[in-house]
């Protein structure tokens, strides 16, 4: 499903819209952006249209576009929701390199996490990040995620293997103070 609009101090999380799709394609074609993503080949406009239609119907996904001053700058989401065990995989990507390092990812993670625990009733969130992606690690930790391990040689990029760092956040940890981090 496409997530409801969530307003933060610096950004808003909004449902993906047709007019954002060319931005997504441009981001996914940028090697500096997709080097930390599971996408390696940029999708076509038709593939992006199919993706947005599929995502809008998928009850196990909540997806948002990160918006600053009415401009899309990235994406975030809750994926593979396991309703029985109340867990999910999360992810975030900032597609506009000029917007890196401004705290937008931290705020997106915080807003997404509040939604996951307060609105969806989830108990556990998990994510992974390339070991080199220290900016994303900081954004996750600001919202209370903790690193729980490393998947060695998990992703092939730019001619070599890369480790990924695994992070998790439990509702009880978030309620005990992690939910107020990064504010």
CATH fold of 6-180, please?
Aminopeptidase (3.40.630)
Write out pLDDT tens, residues 114-150. 999 999 999 999 999 989 989 899 999 998 999 999 9
* Residues sharing a CB contact under 8 Å with residue 12, sequence separation 6 or more, in sequence order: 5, 6, 66, 67, 68
For residue 80, give the nearest of 48, 43, 128 by alpha carbon.
Answer: 128
Enter the tokens of residue 67: 């918006």
Q: List phi, psi (to 5°) of 33.
A: -85, -50
Question: What value does the mean pLDDT take over residues 53-64?
Answer: 96
Would you give the distance in Å from CA 69 to the centre of its chain? 20
pLDDT at site 183: 45
Instruction: Examine the pLDDT at 182 and tell me if it is beyond 70.
Output: no
Delimit the domains of the chain by residue range.
6-180
Enter the tokens of residue 99: 């917007």
The mean of the pLDDT values for the chain is 91
Q: Tell me the pTM.
A: 0.89
Write out pLDDT tens, residues 5-32. 999 999 999 999 999 999 999 988 888 7
């Amino acid at each position: 499903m496409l997530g409801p609009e969530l307003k933060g101090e610096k950004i808003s999380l909004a449902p993906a819209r047709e007019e954002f799709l060319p931005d997504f394609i441009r981001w996914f074609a940028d090697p500096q952006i997709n080097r930390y993503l599971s996408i390696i080949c940029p999708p076509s406009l038709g593939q992006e249209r199919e993706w947005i239609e599929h995502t809008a119907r998928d009850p196990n996904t909540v997806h948002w576009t990160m918006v600053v001053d009415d401009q899309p700058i990235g994406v975030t989401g809750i994926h593979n929701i396991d309703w029985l065990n109340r867990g999910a995989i999360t992810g975030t990507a900032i597609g506009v390199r000029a917007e890196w390092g401004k705290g937008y990812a931290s705020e997106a993670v915080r807003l997404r996490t509040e939604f996951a625990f307060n609105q969806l009733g989830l108990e556990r969130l998990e994510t992974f990040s390339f070991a080199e992606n220290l900016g994303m690690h900081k954004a996750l930790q600001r919202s209370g995620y903790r690193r729980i391990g490393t998947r060695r040689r998990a992703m092939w990029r730019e001619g070599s293997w890369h480790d990924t760092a695994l992070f998790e956040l439990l509702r009880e940890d978030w309620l005990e103070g992690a939910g107020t981090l990064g504010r």
